[in-house]
Amino acid sequence: MTWHILGAGSLGSLWAARLARAGLPVRLILRNPQRLEAYHQAGGLTLIEAGLAQHYAIPAELPQTDTPIHRLLLACKAYDAQSAVATIAERLTPGAELLLLQNGLGSQDEVAQRLPRQRCLFVSSTEGAFRPADFQVVFAGNGHNWLGDPSDPQQPTWLDELQRAAIAHQWSPDILTRLWRKLALNCAINPLTVLHDCRNGGLTEHPAEVATLCAELGELLQRCGQPAAAENLHEEVQRVISATAANYSSMHQDVAQGRRTEISYLLGYACAAAQRHQLHVPHLQHLQQRLLRHLDDRGLPLN
Ligand code: NAD
Ligand code: KPL
């Protein structure tokens, strides 16, 4: 069955190239005729892995192409997920499967609620990729992909295709726990790296701030029915800070490059969940206010 990929950015291209390399049928869905023309000019996708560039002439099409979609990897930013899916919704067959590869929480439910006749799988990824140029992707960090469906623990039959494509993955019946845990890690680290303008390792100079945020995030996870995601959160945050000390967080990179952040699906989602549960999280709220002010000062979107 064909893998349609909507969102031919860093992770979408990384998945597309590896699936195509394994001989699996892949089609990219590009936003508009201009993007399609630029893609045809480039002649395909280039994957750069361990310094080696490989070219893949993966077929591409427009959203309004008149063929059904049975399996779709949605690999755009969280804030684009709903509008991107809307462009191909009519092509999705009943029972089609979508892999939602977005960071944070909130966008997956926005998409799933609009598609009651399809199956939405949530993906949490720790792989790293970036685009040095259009239709080129650098595989920058080995990682793992966890896939799961919060409403159905039955794993799909095609996971062996990911195996064939050497896409590190695992079926995860507790995918929400994974996504909440990653969200908590991101909330404890990313905004502070932006506000202190530092690499992740720079947060070792702000131990009290990190500890206070972890305490509030732990309480929030408990209140949201995610006790497993709260376990040893502070220890893991400290471990991630030291393991990624030399890196800039994804949010820091977004702000430094003047790109929209996924704040609404990370810290914004956490603060909204706290409010829903009437949980007092003054430090998270203050962090959100400081971050929003910081983004506003730079003319960046606040959502
Ligand atoms: P990206 O910005 O590189 O790629 C997203 C692509 O989606 C872009 O090419 C954009 O043009 C396209 N897109 C958006 N709306 C579209 C539409 N309507 N039609 C067609 N294309 C559309 O993003 P990314 O880095 O691949 O990240 C995707 C998600 O994965 C994000 O939530 C991110 O936080 C998460 N993530 C990324 C990495 C990484 O290393 N890049 C690692 C882990 C998680
Ligand atoms: O996922 C991350 C990010 O930068 O988005 C880490 C490295 C865990 C920091 O929060």
pLDDT score, position 120 = 98
Region label for 261, one of left (φ > 0), alpha (ψ between -120 and 50) or beta (otherwise): beta
Contact 269, 106 (CB under 8 A): yes
CATH topology of domain 3-173: Rossmann fold (3.40.50)
Per-residue pLDDT tens for 235-261?
999 999 999 999 999 999 999 999 999
pLDDT score, position 109 = 98
The residue ranges of every structural domain in the chain are: 3-173, 177-297
Please identify, by atom number, the ligand 1 atom nearest to the C-alpha of residue 8. Answer: 9
- Cβ–ligand 1 distance for 31 under 6 Å, the answer yes
One DSSP character per residue, 125-190 reads E--EEE-SSTTEEEEEE---EEEE-TT--PPPTTHHHHHHTT--EEE-TTHHHHHHHHHHHHHHHH
Mean of pLDDT values over 267-284: 98
pLDDT score, position 122 = 98
- Cβ–ligand 1 distance for 6 under 6 Å, the answer yes
Q: Which residues are catalytic?
A: 182
CA of 12 to the centre of ligand 1 (A): 7
CATH topology of domain 177-297: N-(1-d-carboxylethyl)-l-norvaline Dehydrogenase; domain 2 (1.10.1040)
Q: pLDDT band for 82, please (50, 70, 90 cuts).
A: very high
Please identify, by atom number, the ligand 2 atom nearest to the C-alpha of residue 252. Answer: 4
pLDDT > 90 in the chain, percent: 100
Mean of pLDDT values over 216-232: 98
Q: Report the b/e string of 212-241 with b at 16+ CB within 10 A.
A: bbbebbbbbbebbebeebbeebbebbbebb
* pTM for the predicted model, two decimal places: 0.97
Mean of pLDDT values over 206-216: 98
Mean of pLDDT values over 180-186: 98
- Cβ–ligand 2 distance for 189 under 6 Å, the answer yes
